[in-house]
């Protein structure tokens, strides 16, 4: 009788391959703090010499497997992580299709230059040996995570954060307070956490790049707090943080708190809120994994961005003289749907995408697979004085429009997350 039951179950899975199969999750990380310390970069310009560090920089990797589908999400503590570096890691990763390896950056403004920004003479201050070492550390982390896959269940939740965490420097209330959380727990013991992934839009720039301190900023305390209270590995993925969703470190009379203690306050608070939001989420024994990708061309109208892409020693890929290729991904992980953003999308773009996605749990993976500065709509481009900076540090007027069209096409062509 038992053999008959097993045969029937196997036949059902074969007949309906859309049925979720057992989910497996593996995690690993590498410390990528340079020794000795290197200058830190907060954007275009000469990096600032580091005199000390506050916390370590990490590359954190999570691999999800369901049936014959595998996907890896990697997050690097850096301002951004260009595809020119990410693609080199993908070549060293075995067992996962290159297009299914997503590499994002937390956007800390206190890490070494990963772009090799050049001055007008073509000189740069990036440490290429360090970047090459990081490429290998990322691949090692993914390969280790792949080797540590274990049966898992999921908890997926989304809710509004409470407390003084983020605000919009340009328009204080123009930001998304929602925090998405995916927690993978052991299928054998659901009290044993494997991974807690936190998705929230915020600039980790409490310390910034001007103080000569190398740091993961608020992300470091967030990792430590979650791992201390929940176990497993913590991961932070940024959202639509552009124009200018930053850490709410405001004090009275226009002052700001720019020290490690403030990183700890905000990081701990965000961690506590993420754990509160996911605490009572139902445990999903089965979770379907769906992954798709496409390569698009974004128009480059900015002369400054053209110069950076052309002169960087990283040899960024180009699609002709006036466009740049980038990979977009969409992932369904149980009821959660994730889409990648190759830069810093403004909050209005983030709200719009979430409204159009086929899920009650929309996750936006910012600065993922590339980090091409700000992505803003044609209407917002160069619209008023406040937007002069984000206009100047964007690819141009139409990049955001092209991105929105292409990512929503990917959403329309994909199944609903469930």
pLDDT digits (tens, 9 = 90+) for 219-261: 999 999 999 999 999 999 999 999 899 999 999 878 999 999 9
Query: What is the per-residue pLDDT across 391-403, written as a single tens digit (0 to 9) for each?
Result: 999 999 999 999 9
Overall number of domains in the chain:
1
pLDDT-based confidence at residue 16 (cuts at 50, 70, 90): low
Residue 119 above 80 pLDDT? Answer: no
77: tokens are 């503590």
- The answer to the question of residue 366 being in a domain is yes
- For residue 252, count other CB atoms closer than 10 A to its CB: 5
- Is the pTM higher than 0.75? The answer reads yes
**Structural domain boundaries enclosing 356:** 289-413
Whether residue 305 is contained in a domain is answered as yes
Q: 384 burial class (0-12, 13-18, 19+ CB within 10 angstroms)?
A: exposed
> For residue 203, is it within any domain?
no
Name the average pLDDT for the chain.
93
Q: For the segment 359-407, what is each residue's pLDDT rounded down to a tens digit?
A: 999 999 999 999 999 999 999 999 989 999 999 999 999 999 999 999 9
Give per-residue pLDDT as tens, 43-78: 777 788 999 999 999 999 999 999 999 999 999 999
Task: Retrieve residue 133's tokens.
Answer: 């070492």
Rounded Cα distance between 303 and 189, Å, is 55
Cα dist from 291 to 26, 28, 187, 221, whole Å: 17, 21, 23, 31
- Interacting residues of 71 by C-beta distance below 8 A, sequence separation 6+: 63, 64, 96, 100, 101, 102, 289, 291, 331
In a domain, 126, yes or no: no
Confidence at 3, pLDDT banded by 50, 70, 90: low
Q: Is residue 394 part of a domain?
A: yes
End-to-end CA distance of the chain: 33
29-50 average pLDDT score: 91
């Amino acid at each position: 009788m038992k053999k008959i039951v097993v045969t029937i179950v196997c036949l059902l899975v074969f007949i309906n391959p859309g049925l979720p199969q057992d989910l497996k999750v593996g995690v690993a990380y590498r410390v990528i703090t340079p020794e000795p310390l290197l200058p830190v970069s907060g954007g275009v310009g000469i990096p600032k010499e580091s005199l000390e560090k506050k916390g370590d920089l990490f590359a954190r990797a999570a691999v999800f497997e369901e049936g014959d589908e595998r996907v890896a999400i990697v997050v690097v503590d850096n301002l951004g992580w260009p595809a020119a570096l990410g693609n080199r890691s993908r070549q060293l990763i075995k067992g996962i299709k290159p297009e299914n390896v997503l590499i994002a950056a937390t956007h800390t403004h206190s890490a070494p230059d990963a772009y090799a920004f050049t001055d007008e003479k073509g000189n740069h201050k990036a440490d290429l040996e360090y970047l090459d070492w990081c490429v290998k550390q990322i691949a090692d982390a993914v390969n280790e995570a792949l080797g540590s896959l274990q049966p898992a269940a999921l908890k997926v939740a989304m809710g509004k954060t409470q407390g003084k965490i983020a605000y919009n420097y340009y328009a204080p209330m123009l930001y998304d307070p929602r925090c998405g959380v995916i927690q993978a727990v052991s299928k054998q013991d659901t009290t044993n956490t494997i991974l807690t992934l936190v998705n929230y839009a915020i600039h980790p720039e409490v310390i910034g790049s001007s103080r000569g301190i190398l740091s993961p900023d608020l992300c470091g305390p967030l990792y430590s707090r979650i791992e201390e209270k929940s176990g497993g590995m913590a991961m932070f993925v940024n959202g639509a943080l552009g124009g200018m969703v930053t850490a709410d470190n405001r004090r009275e009379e226009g002052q700001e708190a720019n020290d490690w203690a403030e990183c700890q306050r905000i990081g701990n608070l965000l961690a506590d809120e993420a754990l509160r939001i996911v605490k009572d989420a139902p445990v999903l024994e089965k979770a379907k994994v769906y992954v798709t990708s496409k390569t698009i061309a974004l128009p480059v109208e900015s002369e400054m961005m053209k110069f950076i892409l052309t002169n960087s020693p990283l040899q960024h890929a180009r699609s002709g003289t006036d466009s740049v290729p980038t990979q977009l991904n969409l992932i369904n992980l149980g009821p959660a749907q994730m889409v990648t953003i190759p830069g810093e999308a403004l909050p209005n773009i983030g709200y719009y995408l979430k409204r159009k996605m086929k899920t009650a749990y929309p996750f936006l993976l910012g600065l993922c697979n590339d980090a091409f500065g700000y992505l803003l709509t044609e209407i917002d481009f160069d619209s008023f004085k406040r937007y002069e900076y984000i206009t100047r540090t964007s690819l141009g007027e139409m990049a955001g429009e092209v991105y929105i069209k292409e990512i929503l096409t990917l959403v329309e062509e994909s199944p609903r997350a469930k």
